[in-house]
Amino acid sequence: METTLSKTEISQQVKEKLDQRHLTLRRCCDLFNKRFGEEIAAKRIKPITKDFVQRVKSNRFEVITPRVAKLCELLEINLLEASSQKNQFIQEMMLIEKVVKQRPELELQVKKLLVNIADIALQGIQQ
């Protein structure tokens, strides 16, 4: 399945869309199974259950299957959309690189800052 979003980003967006639309897991399943009923009847995709939606919502799924893609379609999540956070991060890193090229004396300080940021991020993940 082609996507530019990570599993974590998909999970976050599924959770946000369900919350925005005030959809319960059951209601989401009902809408999905009704909308894609012909494909389900033709056995091109399986119907979804509350457990399936909960796994996607909580990032407990392994691969992006056609059912995950169809769930995203139902919730109007564009799997090919570049993550705004990723884009912002890339732009910021390019700006830092530009500054370091203009002022090479800052390179060591910038490296130390990035190492410290990475350490903080790792500590946050471990907690």
Query: What are the pLDDT digits (tens) for 52-105?
Result: 999 999 999 988 899 999 999 999 998 887 556 666 777 788 888 899 999 999
Per-residue confidence (pLDDT) for residue 26, from 0 to 100: 97
- Count Cβ atoms within 10 A of the Cβ of residue 58 and give its class: 0-12 exposed, 13-18 middle, 19 or more buried: exposed
Q: Is the pLDDT of residue 1 over 80?
A: no
Indicate the domain borders of the chain.
7-74, 84-126
DSSP result, 40-97? HHTTSS----HHHHHHHHTT--SS--HHHHHHHHHTT--TTSPPHHHHHHHHHHHHHH
Higher pLDDT, 88 or 110: 110
Per-residue confidence (pLDDT) for residue 68, from 0 to 100: 95
Buried b (16+ CB within 10 A) or exposed e, 42-51: eeebeebeee
The encoded tokens of residue 68 equal 């995950």
Give the helix, strand, coil percentages of the chain, each rounded to 5. 70, 0, 30
pTM above 0.75, yes or no: no
Query: What are the pLDDT digits (tens) for 16-31?
Result: 999 999 999 999 999 9
